[in-house]
Amino acid sequence: MEFKKPCIRNDIVIEIDLDQYRHALKESALLTEVFDLHQGLIDLRAPIEFKKGTLPGAVNIPILEDAERETIGKVYKEKGKDAALKKGFELVSGPKKEILISRWRDELSKNSRSLIFCFRGGSRSEIAQDWLKTSGVDVNRIRCGYKGLRSELVNVFNQDHPLLLVGGKTGVGKTKILAEFAQSIDLENLANHRGSAFGNYIKSQPAQAQFENDLAVFLYKRRAQQRILVEDEGKLIGRIYIPKPFQQTMAVSPMVVIEQDLDSRIQNIWNEYISDQTIEYGRSFGSEGPKKLLEYLIVSVNKIKKKLGGQLHKEVGTIVLKAFEEEKPELHKEWIKILLERYYDPMYIHQLSQKKDRVIFSGTFSDVRAWIRSFYKT
């Protein structure tokens, strides 16, 4: 039998048999305590740690900034733990200590059931808890820290998650249909990427760990559902890797397929990638918006240059440039049509042929939407 690990707040220690836990995650008191009860979370780690991944919904109010953390790390290596701890108190003493306590108290006032955490549940969260208590505020901390809780979130992927996949050619509206159902998880939204060579947004993608944490919490919160609705995806969404156990579940899950005519799909893609993006790039870059949008499209076309072949790549690139030079947005529909007919559609038809045994329904957008509604009512 694997060891038991106490891993929760200072005043509530829940013994979790990790071996049994992996097979009975629905009964996790820890995840229920942290995520089902909608508590606030304050991440005390340094900004550089926070950016690499945090607990969903956490606010970063670090006890140490990046440079301070680095300084203490050097002291720890050279002189040991006691010297490092002393240096830490020196760095956060005086006015900074009072500012930190004030910021923590302001955040805690928004949610009386908030939790604080650091990396392992050690000195940083213990010190913050003690300072707050001295100031008259009792706060609970996650004793296993971010590291311990993340390991349990990752175990969520090892549980069975019944899925219903939504498939269809590029531009049929798969993401749109997900947005209509509370039973869905939008993987592309979590990854901040549309899942193709043209999928980048202006804002960069989250860290891999952040994507996994967010997805794990979504899955845990939807554990009682009949089937979770997700888009049929590959292994990667941009640079984000879908966890292997979840990939394996997707690979054997039933699928519904949306079918739309070519002209409708071209219009959908034009709306999202040209019309909407023109507005978004204008907001972000002002007068430089068109130039930045052109650069984004050219980079995206270049990503699939080898797959397109030299001649087709040149043809598409020429039309993209012409649309901007002549300031005729409608021209973009020409290269969109070329890519659909000669690249994306053939690729999808091949992929779907390998999944046809799992397709349980296909039809127009309206037909599939109605079918899904009926499915969740039964």
Check residue 128 and give its pLDDT. Answer: 93
Check residue 20 and give its pLDDT. Answer: 41
CATH (residue range 4-155): 3.40.250.10
C-alpha–C-alpha distance, residues 99 and 88, integer Å: 16
C-alpha–C-alpha distance, residues 209 and 199, integer Å: 20
Check residue 378 and give its pLDDT. Answer: 63
Q: Say which CATH class 160-378 falls into.
A: alpha beta
Check residue 27 and give its pLDDT. Answer: 47
Check residue 262 and give its pLDDT. Answer: 97
**Residues 93, 94, 96, 99: is their CA dihedral positive or negative?**
positive
Give the H/E segment covering residue 167: strand 163-168
Q: How many CB atoms lie within 10 A of CB 217?
A: 19
Check residue 38 and give its pLDDT. Answer: 58
Local confidence pLDDT in tens for the 378 residues of the chain? 232 333 333 333 223 233 443 344 444 677 777 887 657 899 999 999 999 999 999 999 999 999 988 888 888 888 888 888 888 888 888 888 999 999 999 999 988 888 999 998 888 999 999 999 999 999 989 888 999 899 889 999 988 889 999 999 999 999 999 999 999 999 999 999 999 999 999 999 999 999 999 999 999 888 777 789 999 999 999 999 999 999 999 999 999 999 999 999 999 999 999 999 999 999 999 999 999 999 999 999 999 999 999 999 999 999 999 999 998 999 999 999 999 999 999 999 999 999 999 999 999 999 999 999 999 886
Check residue 344 and give its pLDDT. Answer: 95
Please indicate, yes or no, whether the overall pTM of this predicted structure exceeds 0.95.
no
Q: Which of 50, 376, 25 is nearest to 217 (CA)?
A: 25
Residues found in the chain:
378
C-alpha–C-alpha distance, residues 198 and 102, integer Å: 45
C-alpha–C-alpha distance, residues 310 and 314, integer Å: 6
Q: Which of 16, 63, 118, 339 is catalytic?
A: 118
3-state secondary structure 297-338: HHHHHHHCHHHHCHHHHHHHHHHHHHHHHCCCHHHHHHHHHH
C-alpha–C-alpha distance, residues 372 and 253, integer Å: 15
Residues 193-199: contacts with CB within 8 Å, 24+ apart? Answer: 193/237, 193/238, 193/239, 193/240, 194/272, 195/231, 195/233, 195/234, 195/237, 195/238, 196/170, 196/344, 197/300, 197/301, 197/303, 197/304, 198/273, 198/297, 198/300, 199/237, 199/238
Secondary structure (3-state) at 60? strand
Give the H/E segment covering residue 74: helix 66-79
Q: Domain boundaries in the chain?
A: 4-155, 160-378
Check residue 28 and give its pLDDT. Answer: 63
C-alpha–C-alpha distance, residues 40 and 332, integer Å: 46
Catalytic residue list contains 144: no
